[in-house]
Structure 1
């Protein structure tokens, strides 16, 4: 009976590990918060830099949240997980855990706790984070690139056909993508918010993830009241505009919102 129970527990753990591997392998990037909630300063005690370094050893492509991001990630933050370190310390030990959150702020992975008995904060937190990383043996990361691999032969075939028809067309083919890259850089300056249902409206969160606005529905289409800010949110073209009062002045901001 004991052997059967033990085997069943191992089976359940194997299933949960497999599910975790599948989920994490769907994400190409990790963005490490530059400032964790339990600290007063950005990268205090080099906690964010250390976390970035350790996660790179796992095979992830990792950036700090204040670093310049690749274009595809800047356009779609849902390609990345947000990594944060949480403080679980007690009176006698420094304890930490590492969490991965998706672009909607949902925690999809939590490591086991790492500990340190060193009472000096910098050394203590660094030791605890390293020990936390050592517990992350419950998954193997390998980014799934199958979809992108299948696109490459199609592009190559098109180029061969154009070369065979007319050699003079080559410069035109090279010029077009350059124009497209310039135009796609503009949306990067517009912040992206993600809508999560809440009460009579939604809460809009950024990629940290933190709540930026709480909006309430109105009788008008694509028009909301911004709660606690004496303002409104409405759609203008392809973007959303938030208007509200701050320090006696009207503030007007543009956003891309994904409902």
Structure 2
């Protein structure tokens, strides 16, 4: 399980670094929110249901955010694009565009603006969204799994197999309870020594300060729960149990740091 989590995080970092090179064909799923930002209720005017239906007709595998999602998305949320209907309405017309964003909130694709002059809200939003999706004529969807990701999975699996074989063969397995006790004690000591940071809300995220106070990190929100981008650093911040992990590259070396963060 730990190997899967670490692998998922590694893939997320790789995807962030290569975000500009992506196309919709690099993503396996699309997630449509149950409520768009410009509306007050979940699936108001059936806008979310309609968006899901229209994207399915384009060949995508689509889920609403409140539906049961594939288990592989729990390990790697970056397998999906996240749909967003952007309301650009004015006084005389309803205008909507469909954006597809990756797990780091980068825009991968934007449709043309669909518009209508209908004054009845449900009819107007439906027509505008239909027109926006209809403009996606340049999209011919066919999922293409990235070879780099596939290679990493195979490597991780081979390493895992070797570890299992060593545990089965080695007579030192008998001492496993003692090893676990030592590890548990060590982790307990580490948890007491975790540095505490305090979150102060900023545009699109937070600044994390220590007790001095000094700004340690600037973090940006993503569409993934409990995952943030470390601004001005090539890395991410994510929650692991009761603490937070910051992973970033400095001088071509991966640095991993644990914190307690008070939001």
TM-score tier, shorter chain, comes to: 0.5 to 0.7
User: 2:27 is matched with which residue?
Assistant: 27
Distance 2:100 2:258 in 1: 29
Query: For the structure 1 residues 37 and 26, does the alpha-carbon distance in structure 2 shift closer, same or farther, using more than 3 Å as the test?
Result: same
On the 8 A contact 2:83/2:99 being kept in 1, the answer is yes
Query: For the structure 1 residues 203 and 115, does the alpha-carbon distance in structure 2 shift closer, same or farther, using more than 3 Å as the test?
Result: same
Structure 1 residue ranges (4+ consecutive) displaced by more than 2 angstroms after TM superposition: 145-148, 196-200, 204-215, 232-235, 238-245
Structure 1 residues 138-147 or 80-89, which shifts more? 138-147
Query: For the structure 1 residues 143 and 95, does the alpha-carbon distance in structure 2 shift closer, same or farther, using more than 3 Å as the test?
Result: same
Structure 2 gap ranges (5+): 1-19, 155-204, 208-214, 246-255
The alignment of Structure 1 onto Structure 2 pairs a total of residues equal to 168
- 2:230 counterpart of 1:201: no
Structure 1 residues 199-208 or 34-43, which shifts more? 199-208
Query: For the structure 1 residues 21 and 136, does the alpha-carbon distance in structure 2 shift closer, same or farther, using more than 3 Å as the test?
Result: farther
Query: For the structure 1 residues 86 and 72, does the alpha-carbon distance in structure 2 shift closer, same or farther, using more than 3 Å as the test?
Result: same
On the 8 A contact 2:222/2:229 being kept in 1, the answer is no
User: 2:75 is matched with which residue?
Assistant: 75
On the 8 A contact 1:30/1:63 being kept in 2, the answer is yes
Distance 1:57 1:45 in 2: 20
Distance 2:111 2:74 in 1: 27
TM-score (norm 1): 0.54
Task: Give 1:209 shift.
Answer: 7.8
Task: Give 1:234 shift.
Answer: 4.8
How do 1:162-241 residues align onto structure 2 when only pairs under 5 Å count? Answer: 200-207=216-223, 234=244
On the 8 A contact 1:21/1:140 being kept in 2, the answer is no
On the 8 A contact 1:82/1:208 being kept in 2, the answer is no
Distance 2:106 2:52 in 1: 20
Query: For the structure 1 residues 142 and 241, does the alpha-carbon distance in structure 2 shift closer, same or farther, using more than 3 Å as the test?
Result: same
- 2:115 counterpart of 1:115: yes
Distance 1:144 1:75 in 2: 19
How do 1:34-49 residues align onto structure 2 when only pairs under 5 Å count? Answer: 34-49=34-49
On the 8 A contact 2:84/2:99 being kept in 1, the answer is yes
Structure 1 gap ranges (5+): 1-19, 155-195, 218-222, 224-231, 246-259
Query: Is the partner of 2:23 in helix, strand or coil?
Result: helix
How do 1:146-161 residues align onto structure 2 when only pairs under 5 Å count? Answer: 147=147
Structure showing greater radius of gyration is 1
User: 2:210 is matched with which residue?
Assistant: none
TM-score (norm 2): 0.53
How do 1:116-135 residues align onto structure 2 when only pairs under 5 Å count? Answer: 116-135=116-135
Query: For the structure 1 residues 54 and 21, does the alpha-carbon distance in structure 2 shift closer, same or farther, using more than 3 Å as the test?
Result: farther
Query: For the structure 1 residues 22 and 102, does the alpha-carbon distance in structure 2 shift closer, same or farther, using more than 3 Å as the test?
Result: closer
